[in-house]
Amino acid sequence: MEFTKKNLLSLLKENIEEMAMKYGDDDDGSRPHGDVTRPLSTGDTPLKKIPFPQTGDENTNFQELLASERYKQVVSNVRNYTGINTPLTGDSNIMPLAQMMMTAHNQIIQTENEHRGELEQLAIELVMKEMKIPEGAYQFDAKIVGMGEIDMSDFNREIQQQPNIEPVDIEKDLMDELETMTLEKAKRRMMNAMGQGIAEKGHYMYLLVPDRIREITGSENLIAQYGILMSINDSLYWQLSDETMKQMMGGEGGGGSVGGKQQVRRNTTPPTIIARGINFPILVHELIKGIVEAFKLKGRPKDAEGNEDNEKWSEISDSEDTLEKEIWDIRLGPPIWDRIRNQYPEDILTDDDKVELQNYLITTIFELKAKPFLVFMKEVLKGTESGQRLMNELMEGIDQMFRDQDYQDAIDAFNDDLNDVVEDTDNNELKKFLKDLNIGLLDDDGLDDLLGPGIRRPDDDNQ
């Protein structure tokens, strides 16, 4: 066989797509859509801003590793809740699952319709209990609403900005990215992915209160319908093309609609978590997202006086809080969060008296300045000794603070240790990461300016 340039390019394309993810020994032949595997193979997703660790495997990048972990969970859930064992291969055989999902959706609406108020209150109680939210910390405005009743006017900015796809000037596009790429945007990207990962458990938290749901609705089938709906819904983010997903969510003239939305209203005392969902599991999911968004407020950029930098925040939000990027957060956020949570000290996961400390821990992590935040998360995601040590040091300080003990020594130890890790990383992985994104077109002084100073102690802020 004579190999032409066309033949070689075709073979390379096939090999790249095949290397995009690993499916393990229990591979059943299921494969995501090419719109998912192609950008994963090159790392060209909205999460490319995050300085992920190296995998040690030249054929697999870290996003591919995360995707492999999550995709196995998604396929397994579809198998468990639907009983269908046919391989999922892109969108070619998704129609039977989509029909099953719509049947479940219609039955759920019919069953929930007369019991919305009670289910809304149960959702609030469930989320507060599981997330250890103290009474009076927030007000809640939670509603189960109909399809099409959720305002999406500020949810599709990315799609609306370019309704017609025009050829782009690659060099100009690259220079625009160089001008707008900041560590703050990378931090927001990471926090958004973490938030989706934390909230994903809300899809299945109905399993914690099945008796209450049966008591409220009188239905013996609703729990099973929830499982069918949510497991298939999760799979669509992997099996459908990007264009189809955007159309389903109301973009590009598709006429679709989102299933839920949340907002934090800070001008009330206490702040109000507003959540809307088209059914109970999605409402729970949105309530968790709302609480996490309240935690994430601590991570907004600050000006020299320590106040929120609203101008910078507006630019970051416009860039990162978009529909297309949320789709990728939903795909990769859960395995990111699994890895972070696996580094939590065991006692705050199992000791009822300490579980609440998880909220203080994640909020404190969000408060870190952008560079040390990204370095810390890189070490934790990779599961390094440094990541585990830093997590334990930070948790020790929070635990002492929570018990009204002198915590400054522990916090100082964490700050000093993280400073050392940041300094060791500056000239290695973070610079390599930024150069891989063509930020390396700057000289070393320019890179140092972009990376900025390390983490500071509170008493350094006025210096």
List own/partner pairs for 303-309 with CB under 8 A and 24 or more apart. Answer: 306/461
Is the pLDDT at 14 greater than 50, yes or no?
no
* Model confidence band, residue 449 (pLDDT cutoffs 50, 70, 90): very low
Q: What is the DSSP string of 106-120?
A: HHHHHHHGGGHHHHH
Tokens of 189: 């990207």
Distance from C-alpha of 286 to C-alpha of 272, rounded to nearest angstrom: 13
Distance from C-alpha of 416 to C-alpha of 408, rounded to nearest angstrom: 12
Is the pLDDT at 463 greater than 60, yes or no?
no
3-state secondary structure of 267: coil
Distance from C-alpha of 60 to C-alpha of 263, rounded to nearest angstrom: 37
CA nearest neighbour of 343 among 296, 395, 410: 395
What residues contact 109, with CB distance under 8 A and at least 6 apart?
146, 278, 279
Q: What is the pLDDT of residues 352-397, one digit of tens each?
A: 888 889 999 999 999 998 889 988 999 999 899 999 999 999 999 9
Whole-prediction pTM: 0.82
Is the pLDDT at 1 greater than 90, yes or no?
no
Q: What is the DSSP string of 207-250?
A: GG-HHHHHHHH--SSHHHHHHHHHHHHHHHHHHS-HHHHHHHTT
Q: pLDDT at position 207, please?
A: 97
Q: What is the DSSP string of 28-54?
A: -S-B--HHHHHHHHHT-SGGGGS-PPP
Is the pLDDT at 180 greater than 90, yes or no?
no
Q: What are phi and psi of 276, to 5 degrees?
A: -130, 140
Q: What is the pLDDT of residues 106-151, one digit of tens each?
A: 999 999 999 999 999 999 999 999 999 999 999 999 999 998 788 7
The domains of the chain are located at: 342-463
Is the pLDDT at 188 greater than 50, yes or no?
yes
- Between β-strands 272-277 and 139-144, what pairing exists: parallel, antiparallel or unpaired? parallel
CA atoms lying within 13 Å on the CB side of residue 304: 2
Mean pLDDT score of the chain: 82
First to last CA, the chain: 71
Q: Which ranges of 297-384 does DSSP label H, i.e. alpha helix?
A: 310-320, 323-341, 347-350, 357-367, 370-382
Mean pLDDT of 189-198: 94
